[in-house]
Structure 1
Amino acid sequence: MNNLPIPENEKERLKALHGYEVLDSINEAEFDRITEIASIICDVPISLISLIDKDRQWFKSKIGLDVNETPRELAFCRYAIMDPHILEIQDAITDERFKNNLLVTGEPGIRFYAGTPLVDPEGYALGTLCVIDRKPKKLSAKQLRALKLLGEEVISKIVERRQKEELKNFENIFRRSNDLIFIGGGDGFFKKVNPAFTKVLGWSKEQLLNTSTFEFIHPDDIASTEIELKKLAHGHSTVNFIQRFKTISGSYKTLQWTSSPEASTGYIFGIGRDISKEKEKEEQLAESEEKLRVFFENSQGLMCTHDLEGKFLSVNTSGASTLGYTPQEITQMSLFDIIPQERHPYLNAYLDEIKKSGSVKGQMLTRHKNGSLHVWLFNNFLQKGATGEEYVIGNAYDITERERLQNDLIRTKEMLEQTNKVARVGGWDFNLEKQEIYWTSVTKEIHGVPQDYEPDLKSGINFYKEGDSRDRITQAINLGIAEGKSWNEELQIIDVSGKEVWVRALGNTEFENGVCKRLFGTFQDIDAYKEAELALKRSVAAQERLNEALLEQIELVKEQDKTIEKIQEFKFLADSIPQMIWTSQADGYTDYYNRYWFDYTGMTLEQTQTEGWEPVLHPDDLENDTNLWNESLATGKPYDTEVRFKRASDGAYRWHISRAVPMKNNKGEIVKWFGSCTDIDEYKKALDLENKISQYEDFNRIVAHNLRGPAGSIGMILTMLDETTDENEKADLLKMLSQSSETLNETLNELMKVLEVRNNHDLTYDDCDLQEIVNGIEKMLKGQMVAKKARIITDFNKNHILFPKIYLESIFYNLISNALKYSKDEIPPEIIISSTTKADKTLLTFKDNGLGIDLKQHGNNMFKLNKVFHRGYDSKGVGLFMTKTQIETFGGKISVQSDPGVGSEFFIEL
């Protein structure tokens, strides 16, 4: 009990668990349904969703228990979260870990336990979905699979629960903010506005959304507004744009806007505030020196004057207070004292710019006296004093809170986009006036087209499978345009690769003055769900037909008093079928086999009834088949398995599907079993062939990558030989050419060994010398390294590891050649390779000073096939995919850290 298993990431795991805010929450039906389904599928009385806190396990949902939590030291689940696989304890009394556990020796008397860990998207095991019985038990493979799938559904619900709460918080901010927050389009119409618009301007939401914004703008501000809209249309953000906006009373209020465009949708996201009072104060400032002083002292923002070196000359009380100082303290300081050290280069640039242009506006970051940071919008002007000295008048507004809200809005939008990718839900928009169609990235992925693909209406419709699917989508679009009808259809498309995919297409319409202007909607990949649904329907229909046929046969036999003539007919039919047909009594005693059984096995009826299937059943299948048949006899469940029977004619074992279903009387009692065995050996061989093809495709990729380097080096050295006239240099290059040729031969010989090993189905582990492998790769890439003046530095704390050598060479080759290929111009590549040990694992690190990779943009596609992260290079997007596959094939892991312009660092655990 004192040595409780604790995950290595326990601190982070608990932080993640508490971050979901699910502990001690009320019962929720969607979680209770999952525990009930788990209890039914696994045929157990107790099912729990257990979350492992620091000192307890708390039950989010429970079936069969009355308590809400137990001490963590008693929890079986504390072991289940240590491993990503299902933990199954068939009999706790025989397990040293649990036989003395109070939950085993006392109530609820646990004997059987199976728990699947609840792992969130960040890899933290929050708890388990577990099933418990008071008697020993073993789950079938299907039950284990169902339990794992239900566990994945639980963690999905927990993540979705938090996302809903975060979205609710964002909506509260949107509704309650005193700033004007909007989403608009390039056409000059608002798409969404928050309640602050009505509060500040008086217009209703409907009036604002259905009226062009140019109807509200002061006539003198229309031209400048059009200029700002053009800037936004070209992807430039607007900061501190001033505009006069009509109120419902007919007067105008001065608004200050900060807006940003979204290139993918054409939407504009903006935040504004009413600066009418500040504007009035500015006008009063121009009229009177006294009014200037009053405004200066009473402004709620930061107003100040400073010289051209940044030293404060004056500051208003409110601004000084916001910075944490008194006006007297501020006038003893300069801008360099309140702006963080790392931003002083920007401050110097600001001082240079205001000297040159006379005015500067933008954002700045200051540090409060207590150390906190504040974000300001400023608008400063250069002035001359009465004696001709130059100074700067500064006006700034604290937008720290608004910046936080805007960042929250961006994060929420990114979360929604990621959710759509996970759910395979894309979007689309069709502008009828411009005849332009827009597809989101997920929609393009479902169609199998590249991200730069430009769809049109005809090609979009032609993706739908010809016939019913294409006819239905065409009719739906026509009805939408003509009558405004929305649609929700499950249809089939054929993607670019020719694959048929089931999708759910939803469409809506947008009308203006009775004319359809726009169609828009969502597009979801439901192929897996649909195929499962259709397969289930086919299975149900086939079972119904079989049941009907059996019932008809039973009724026929009853009606004819089981006459000898009908028995002979049935026997003749059974003997004519090229399958093994058999029947047994309720206790499992087999009383009939058709002719095919005797022809295939060479056994007699007497031998079969005496010895059973053991003489012809493959020894490896005997125990499992016996257990399954006994289980069916005990439970009445249909018998279904795959076994190998020996064919009498040649002694060969062939695969068969063996099935049997029970026939019951009116009381529900089993009176007979009807079984069959169908030869599926050719089907199994086809599966083996498919696996072999996959293995050779992998080998072909290794060949292509491993030969590209030596071949490329030879070509580069030949070019350098052709260009040089120095005899000494030619001698060195010829020596390098010889080395590259030898390396090419060695690579071919190694690849032939791998092919021989593959053909023998026996892949061995080699004692690999890491420095020797690096030296070999240097020879292969000699031409590139000389041309780029590259340097490889090694630091091996562990010099040898056990691993298939050709795969390890391929891994080293891919990472080193990538570092050379994606190096910076004019900067010699430097590649640092090191090795350490951790527990029983070897850790390899590859670090370079190259171009680096933007992981925010490409992180999810880092190791996927045919993914390229830098344009203009001879790249196929295969190397990293193959490297990850080779590492994971032998139980390893690979990860990466990278910054654009700095370089990349790959971490490998073997």
Structure 2
Amino acid sequence: MESPKANPKSSRELSRLAALLRYDILDSPNEDAFDDFTHLAAQICGTPIALISLVDAQRQWFKSRFGLDVSQTPREISFCTHTIEGQGLFEINDAQQDPRFQHNPLVTGAPNIRFYAGTPLTTPDAYNIGTLCVIDSRPRQLDAIQRDALERLGRQLMRLFEERLHAQRYAEQAAMQQALLNSAASAMLVTTTDGLISAVNPTAERLFGYSEAMLLDHPLTSALFPQEALARRAAILSDALGETVTPGFAVLTAPLFKGRREVREWHLRHRNGTSIPVLVSISAIHDEYELLRGYIVSAHDLAHQEHLQLRLQQIAAQVPGMLFQLCWHANGQTSFPYVSEGIEAIYGLSTADLESSIGPIYARVYPDDRAQVLASIRQAASTLTPWHFEHRIEHPRKGLIWVEARATPLRQADGSVLWHGLVTDITERKAEQLELDKQQEMNRRLLEALSEAVVACDAKGNLTLFNNTARLWHNLDAQQLAPGDWAEYYHLYHADGTTPLRPEEVPLMRALRGERIRNVEMTIVVNGHTRYVLANADPMLASDGQQNGAVVVLHDITERKNIEKMQREFVSTVSHELRTPLTSITASLGLICGQVMGEVPGHLQELLDIAHQNSKHLSALIDDLLDIDKLNAGKMRFKLELQPLQPLLEQARRNNQGYANSYTVTIKLGVCPPILVRVDGMRLVQVLSNLLSNAAKFSPPGESVDLFAERVTENRVRISVRDRGPGIADSFRDRIFSRFAQADSSDTRPQGGTGLGLAISKELTEHMGGQIGFDSTPGAGACFWIELPCQSGSLPR
């Protein structure tokens, strides 16, 4: 039968477990002192097994074991649990015959216990924490002498536990005392009762220049104290105490015997012969029995303190303002333990003016600020919170100045409040702040007056600026939204007015990611009304170069869009109405000028040639207008096919050589890599014809135009048209691909043209997945280029 298990939740059991843990012995290594007890118990009782068993909440653990290999067993099957629950020795003569243990696995199996006798290990506060027990595998019974010996061994074992605990505590205290001694900022010297040095801390070694080994076992006073100073002090003490004090160690200890603990300044000797000012105090060391064991002498370095004070004064002299300590006493009086020389610059006073109170400073405070200053100080003193206040001072030389005062209050033991603070002159900063406030107010008014919408955010995407125009256009104000919600909340759409902008397409979001956005068209659709806007956005950078936000400016182009729409409709209508009759006129004039209808009189031939040329120019203009109309309406069809680039370049050269001949210009076809491009061949030739005709038209007579291609990346090819004309003027660069753009817009410009060719070329190139651009230096020609996707190889035959 298993032994009953104590309720671990009971108050008595919890206290017993606490007593066990107090000895800090569970799971500790083997110790010979404990093994001696188990060997002796086995010999006295004549058993093969003896154990020192400690019982915790779940198990019995063996601190020492003789004749047994296992180190612990579960508590619920342990014999020792019965021992600790009773009083005195617990003995089982034959476990197989005892109904409490006959089915116990320790009886039915190894170690086959038949006999058990255990005496409890009882703490001084009467808790049984374990047992000293003996075990045999055959039935037996202890005699009276063995029982008495086992109990005596148990009591001795408990005394060993107590000694072990006291030794641990003593070692911990000694280690802590040594650590305190070593870390003390003052020099500490430990002496015997007769004044011989027994220990020295590192601070003392550094202060006096001696190592500990050099001072050990030497008399303290003869090693460090000047003899003449000891003699003078001995005479004074002899008179004061009414007894003779010898000029040695007794000078330091005599006041202690009279119940007085002195702290006195001495000049002690350094190893190098110099004198060190120190503040010396001495304390007696008593043991637990109140016996005097020695003394500890503390020496605080006054030279270091003087050095620190001088350093503080030097630092205070560099501080722009006044450093101070103000003591506000419980009775309402004030005093200044410390004031730096900066008091003159702040208040026009000297430290002597503040010997009695804060009154002279208070008198310098501007009358309108005095009540607030005093109230704020009292509030900070009552709550012991840091004080910070800006106010005005009437300086006797500088006039009215602004100061910033900061101080931290600390409650003292006597109920007073000690303030540590700084007062600085902020007159210049106040003036700058006033000017900055004016500038910010002006900027705010300008932003609110702008006809453009301006929106800004910080680095985390929080909207920080939403001017009046932005509020009107969106019919909303700035809200604390995640950037991913901007497009939906503020009704942002693509330029078509129907496709919502994705979060990553919002110009402000792109600028927040570091992009610079220029002239991106988009729409704001509110309550069915579509507003067309042009967005320009930039990252905002701090002075250190770190991005701290972004800003977007939106220009309303709704009216321009409406005008463009009207223009397109007008041009489309007029172009279609003019095309048919103009085609007939051009054809008729061609027949007449070609004398198909008969010979033309000489005096009419020149007029008819002029009319024929102008009709052809007008037809080209209408063709360009119709192309633009188709592109705007999305009606121009593109048949993209994968085809070699070389034949397309050759066709473009052939188509335009005749036009170039009229300007006595030659088109030269240069290198072209063997690559394929996916394009509409007719549209690509149209783009190249525009570039070649422009190059021929602006080239000097007798010059040549170069047409060539080169790969710029693995999957991109650049087709270039280079001329040797006057180049592109700086004033024309930004609008060269705009519709109806002409470098020379006068009626007498030497070269004709509609101003639509490059705009159409840009649209066609982009529809084929490419891009168009140019490089030019005024006076040194121009090189127009288009880049297209490409791939290596040739078409299968």
The verdict on a shared fold, with TM-score over 0.5 as the criterion, is no
TM-score, normalised by the number of residues in structure 1: 0.32
TM-score, normalised by the number of residues in structure 2: 0.36
Q: Which has the higher contact order (CA 8 A, sep 6+)?
A: 2
Determine which structure has more spread, i.e. the larger CA radius of gyration. 2
